[in-house]
Structure 1
Amino acid sequence: MGLDRIALLGTSADPPTRGHQALLEQLIKRYDQVVTWASDNPMKQHGASLPVRTMLLKALVEQLNTNNLQLVQDLSSPFTVITLNRANQRWPKHDLAFVVGSDLAAQIPSWKEADQWLCRCKIAVAHRQGWPLSETVLAELSAFGASVDVLDIDIPASASSEQRLDPRSEKVPTAVWPLLIKQKLYGLAPNLC
């Protein structure tokens, strides 16, 4: 019997969008387990606190309602090297794949201690519409020693940054929208909706 394949997906979830939903739906079809968490990205300004973003992501996980998807918030760190160390301690005998969108793939070599962890990590890259993945980026990741798997999935062009500026119910998962209103996030309020 082979090792369980676990997809690891950290996200700012600021807020979770239909793009996050589509990615999780595709990952749960391809991996034995999918683990997600909300995190602070040191390269971004966040519109909501980490506990609030965790609550929003939890609502999406519960909406998807499948046994092979879980929120494991204690993996959260602003730094991938710390997250991966935690994941390897938690699942030492599993085949772990760190999932990123094609919009982030070119940034990975500049992340904290990338030269230390890329050679020990499998990277799974999901194509995000509007963000092509170049052979140069793949070659650079491979030069760091990373094992890169380009996933045969296409994630809709749905950005959290756009939702923070102009929230629209059709761009946000069904379970998340009422929480945005209740928490009065991103300029929403019950009387505006």
Structure 2
Amino acid sequence: MKLKNNSIALFGTSADPPTLGHEALLSELTKIFPKVITWASDNPDKNHQIPLLKRTQLLRILVKKISHPKLELVQELSSPRTIHTLKKAFQLWPEASFSFVIGSDLAMHVPKWLNAKSILSKVRIAIAMRDGWPISDVQLAEIKKLGGKIEILPFTIPESSSSKFRERPQKVLIPKELVPLLLEENLYGLADNRK
């Protein structure tokens, strides 16, 4: 993948909560892109278990743990709508070329985004393959039909998902640095076994 120096990877996530999958993705992106920007946001297609403010706090802990000079949390990009996020990104980095990063599980949703055609004319869609979520040629064709330029990222993300954690909270699915806050504030019903 040949990238220009002004390439920025944009990765918005519900971070409900951030998992080892998020950590792996952000770490891998820093190996490829000159700059990686992340933020927590509300997804209009999901019911979030904890408020955005708390999810942002958890994502901030994860970004601090990764502690890479190319990685930054820019919460002001947060919006339930990608088109609004991009508008802000273009204001902040007018010279940049953007790759909007999604997991392979979300590829089927791209054509249904509000203003999908307009979004796809402005950014590349960078798809991170997630274990257990193959992508079909039909899904890729749908994005391309709307004018989308697609990059399949050269790594695979482990299966640990936020929804799996919410169904059955287990410390092994999340970065250990998040555990103290989850226990302290009794988030997600994670059992405190410290006697």
Scaled by the length of structure 1, the TM-score of the pair is 0.95
Once residues 192 and 160 of structure 1 are traced to their aligned partners in structure 2, the CA distance between those partners, rounded to angstroms, is 23
Report deviation, 1:165.
2.1
SS at match of 1:186: coil
* Matched residues, number: 192
Aligned with 1:81 (options 74, 80, 83):
83
Is the contact between residue 170 and residue 190 of structure 2 (CA under 8 Å) also seen in structure 1?
A: no
- The code of the aligned residue for 2:70 comes to N
SS at match of 1:92: coil
Q: Residue deviations 1:156-182, cap 9 Å, x none? A: 111101111211111101211211111
Q: Percent identity?
A: 47
Matches for 1:105-184 after TM superposition, within 5 Å: 105-184=107-186
Matched residue, 1:100 = 102
Aligned with 2:48 (options 46, 58, 78):
46
Q: Residue deviations 1:27-77, cap 9 Å, x none? A: 010000110000000000001000000000000000001111010000000
> Gapped runs of 5+ residues in structure 2?
none
Report deviation, 1:94.
1.1
- The code of the aligned residue for 1:79 comes to R
SS at match of 1:188: coil
Is the contact between residue 8 and residue 36 of structure 1 (CA under 8 Å) also seen in structure 2?
A: yes
Matched residue, 2:24 = 22
- The code of the aligned residue for 2:104 comes to S
Once residues 186 and 174 of structure 1 are traced to their aligned partners in structure 2, the CA distance between those partners, rounded to angstroms, is 15
Matched residue, 2:74 = 72
Once residues 115 and 91 of structure 1 are traced to their aligned partners in structure 2, the CA distance between those partners, rounded to angstroms, is 21
- The code of the aligned residue for 1:176 comes to L
Report deviation, 1:189.
5.0
Runs of 4+ deviating beyond 3 Å: 189-193
SS at match of 1:154: strand
Is the contact between residue 165 and residue 186 of structure 1 (CA under 8 Å) also seen in structure 2?
A: no
Scaled by the length of structure 2, the TM-score of the pair is 0.94
Q: Residue deviations 1:125-159, cap 9 Å, x none? A: 00011110111111111111111111111001111
Is the contact between residue 3 and residue 93 of structure 1 (CA under 8 Å) also seen in structure 2?
A: no
Once residues 124 and 164 of structure 1 are traced to their aligned partners in structure 2, the CA distance between those partners, rounded to angstroms, is 26
**CA RMSD after TM alignment:** 1.3
